[in-house]
Amino acid sequence: MLINYTFPFSLQYTLESGQSFRWKKYCFNESLCYEGVVADNIIYLSQDLNSIRIESSGNSKLIKNHIINYLKLDEDINRVYKNISKDIYINSAINKYRGMRLLRQDPWECLISFICSSNSNIKRISKNIEDICIEYGNKIIFNGSERYSFPSPQILSETSEKQLRNLGLGFRAPYVLESAKIISLNQINLEDLRVKNYQDALDILIKLPGVGDKVANCILLFSLDKDEAFPVDVWIHRVLQEKYFDIENKTNNIKVRLLAQKYFDRYAGYANQYLFHNRRLFE
C-alpha cells in the first residue's frame, strides 16, 4: 500500500528525531525500512521517491488513514519553513534536515514516554517503553515480527510502583503509576486538550506527576498539534545560549522558552525540533 506525500518529506529524519521511541530501523533491499507499532498494529514503513510504502497487520484502509494522521501529512511544511526562517542558523538546520516532520502521536503513549525521558537518554527511554509494552501490552504477530501494543491507562493504573521499578523505570515509576490513575479515572482527558489553546492545555498537563514544563511541551508538540510548544532541555538551552540570546546556564527554562516562542512565533515547535536535532547530532 502506498501513500503519496508532498515534498519535502524525510521518513528517516522524522522517525529518528527523538519524538517517538518505538521504531526499529532495518535495511531491506538496500533501502531503509522502519518497524513500529501504531494503533495496536505492527507497521512497516519505507520511503520511495514519490510515496511512502506501508505494510501492516491491520485493515489496510484504516491503517492508511492512521498513518497519514500519524505522520501529519496534512501539514503544509513549506508554510512552516517560511514562518520559522528567521536567521542563517535555523536556515542551515532546515537545509540539513529538510523534510523532518513533527508527528501526531497518541497523547497517552506520548505522556508516558516523556515522563520516562526525565534525566535519561534515548536508548534507555526506548528500552523502558518497550519493556512496559512487553509486560503489559497485547502480543501482535505479523510477518515474522513479534511486538506488543502500548497498554491502556487502566492496565497501567492496576500495576504497582514495585512492578514498574522492576522494569527499570527507577524514580519515574511512581510518576507513571499516579499519572495512569488520573488518566484512567478521566480526571484529565488528553484528547480534550487538542481543542484547548496552548496555555490552557499546558496548565492542565503540568498537574500530572512527573510532568513539568519541558515534558508537557513535548506532549503538546508531538501529540496534540500545538505547533508553538517549545520544550527546553539541555540541548536547546545550549543552542539558544550559543546562537540566540544573552542568557546564563542557570537561566530559568520557562523564561528561555518564552524568549524563543516570541522569536520563532506560531511554529516555534518546528524550529525547536530542527535546532534540537542539529545540535544533538553535532557532538
Partner DNA sequence: TTCCAGGTCCGGC
Partner DNA sequence: GCCGGACCTGGA
> Strands 31-38 and 24-28: what pairing?
antiparallel
Q: What is the CA radius of gyration of the chain?
A: 19
Burial class of 232 by CB neighbour count within 10 A (0 to 12, 13 to 18, 19+): buried
Sign (positive or negative) of CA dihedral 272, 273, 276, 279: negative
Q: Which is nearer to DNA, 2 or 134 (CB)?
A: 134
Alpha-carbon gap, residue 174 to 178, rounded angstroms? 6
Provide the minimum distance between the beta carbon of 178 and DNA in the complex, in angstroms, as a whole number: 9
Residue whose entry in the numeric block shows the C-alpha cell 511544511? 77
The residue ranges that bind DNA (CB under 7 A) are 17-19, 117-125, 165, 168-172, 175, 206, 208-216, 218, 231, 233-236, 250, 252-253, 272, 276
What is the nearest approach in angstroms of DNA to the Cβ of residue 18? 2
The nearer residue to DNA, 26 or 171, going by C-beta atoms, is 171
Which one, of 15, 17, 53, 22, lies nearest residue 36 by Cα? 22
From 214, 226, 255, 262, the catalytic residue: 214
Between 8 and 170, CB nearer to DNA? 170
Shortest distance in whole angstroms from residue 171 CB to DNA: 4
90 versus 215: smaller Cβ distance to DNA: 215
Supply φ then ψ for residue 250, to 5 degrees. Answer: -90, 0
The minimum distance between CB 165 and DNA, in angstroms, equals 5
**Is 162 one of the catalytic residues?**
no
Q: CB of residue 130 vs DNA: minimum separation in angstroms?
A: 13
77: which residues sit within 8 A by CB, 6+ positions away?
6, 8, 9, 99, 101
Nearer to DNA, 165 or 194 (CB): 165
- Per DSSP, what are the bridge partners of residue 33? 26
Measuring CA to CA, how many Å separate 116 from each of 24, 120, 201? Answer: 19, 7, 20
User: Which residues carry out catalysis?
Assistant: 214
